Amino acid sequence: MSVLDNSIVNVALPTLRADLDVSGAGLQLVVAGYAVAYSVLLITGARLGGVLGHRRAFHLGLVSFTLTSLACGLAPGTTSLIVFRFLQGASAALMTPQTMSLIQRNFTGEARLRALGFFSAMIAGGVVAGQVAGGLLVSLDLFGAGWRTVFLVNVPVGLALMVAGPRVIPPDEPEGDVDLDLLGLVILGAAVLLFVMPLILGHELGWPAWTWACLAASVVVFALFVWVERGLAARGRRPLLSVRMLRAPGLRPAAVMLLLAPATWAGFLFTTTLHLQGDLGMSALKSGLAFVPCVVAFGAVGLSWQRVPARWHANLIPAGFAVAAVAYLFVGPLAGGGVGYELLTALIGFGLGVMSIIMSVALEGVALSDAADASGLLLTLMQLGQVVGVAGVGTVFLTAVGDGGSTRHAEYGTGRVLAAVALVAVVSALLLVRDRRRGRVGQAPVAVRP
């Protein structure tokens, strides 16, 4: 549900906009609010599983997610919807990490591999289901609820899981003292909000002085976060994000890629949906179906890259991002235009599918004792990338539309921005390949000193 809800709202945005008279910035906040809470609280949510027990944490997250979904579906206005979306993302950050922990604890050997494979397939399938199911629900307009059904659909699913969960998930004991690093959490949250809010609101307010002051302050607060986290690690405590892991071979270029690639993906979904249902006049269902080639190609690469010989894994990454960059550049003029558009969106999915390779390749040079910290850092950056994509790329698109341009014209400019960002990811991927060839990645893993 958490993956589905990260994408299901996209195709409902135009209907939501018409019903609640939401501004472009309001639409960005509806999408980004969920992603901000999810990304910032993800590691804390995972660690709360150790404090409460993973089954209990999962059920608390599930109950909260179901209730906040109901609240989103009943929201009377834009402000309340944004608040409830933030709380929904926070609930997902508590619920989702427990799934992986429960799999690791309750399955072994081949059964664990099958469970992890099913979990990965659900993640890939959730993106497809989100786009298509969202379009179907809005088009059906059940009980006249319109866009609200994309949130209300979670309620019966959540109730069913509440009934089934205690019967199929065995209990587990809390792990004792776990360092939650609440100070780091507050500082990171402040830094993200200082960066995201002016990006989203600036284009509608004419970029007043406070937006630039907030952007400058975000750099200072991010630096403060790094300093605090390093201090915690030096004192033998476990920080929220182990920034020292960026010194591990291959982790730095991987971090850049896992920030930028999801940013292009989230920005593409957000802006293209507005274009398809804007100037092109597509229905919610038809616009949702327009993304299927992209997401199917993405999932196919994610599920098949392991069949390629291991020595070629790193080389697939820059090739994939290069394909995505070219497709982004040309997809704007063809948006919604038949076979050519479908081919280009499939190429985008094919290119971005290499994201599933990055973490595997990057973690080859990390000692087992550091794997959890490195994975946590990379996963958080992936989620933050989606926030940056909706805020940054969405602002480029909405600014072009607000200046009197059509959504088709805005798509041209957005495509060039997405292509440029993808090219930066190509450069980072080439650096990873270089490190691998020099023997800095893929050799005997080494621990990273604090």
pLDDT digits (tens, 9 = 90+) for 199-218: 999 888 889 999 999 999 99
Tell me what the mean pLDDT of segment 12-38 comes to. 90
pLDDT(34) > 50 = yes
pLDDT digits (tens, 9 = 90+) for 154-166: 999 999 989 987 8
pLDDT digits (tens, 9 = 90+) for 308-352: 777 787 888 999 999 999 999 888 767 656 778 888 989 998 898
The residues spanned by each domain of the chain are 1-180, 182-239, 245-440
pLDDT(3) > 80 = no
User: What pLDDT score was predicted for residue 294?
Assistant: 84
User: What pLDDT score was predicted for residue 337?
Assistant: 62
- Ranking 68-72, 199-203, 370-374 by mean pLDDT, the lowest is 370-374
Tell me what the mean pLDDT of segment 231-259 comes to. 82
User: What pLDDT score was predicted for residue 418?
Assistant: 94
Predicted TM-score (pTM) of the model is 0.85
User: What pLDDT score was predicted for residue 135?
Assistant: 82
Tell me what the mean pLDDT of segment 400-424 comes to. 85
- 305 vs 297: CA distance, rounded Å: 12
Tell me what the mean pLDDT of segment 100-122 comes to. 67
pLDDT(448) > 80 = no
Confidence of residue 26 (pLDDT cuts 50, 70, 90): very high
Between residues 65 and 448, the one the model is more confident about: 65
pLDDT(55) > 50 = yes
CATH topology of domain 245-440: Growth Hormone; Chain: A; (1.20.1250)
Tell me what the mean pLDDT of segment 284-296 comes to. 84
- Ranking 33-37, 216-220, 260-264, 341-345 by mean pLDDT, the lowest is 341-345
Domain pair 1-180 / 245-440, same fold: yes
- 324 vs 355: CA distance, rounded Å: 12
Between residues 222 and 285, the one the model is more confident about: 222
Confidence of residue 447 (pLDDT cuts 50, 70, 90): very low
Task: Classify 1-180 by CATH class.
Answer: mainly alpha
pLDDT digits (tens, 9 = 90+) for 384-404: 998 999 999 999 998 888 766
Q: In this prediction, what percent of the chain has a pLDDT beyond 70? A: 88
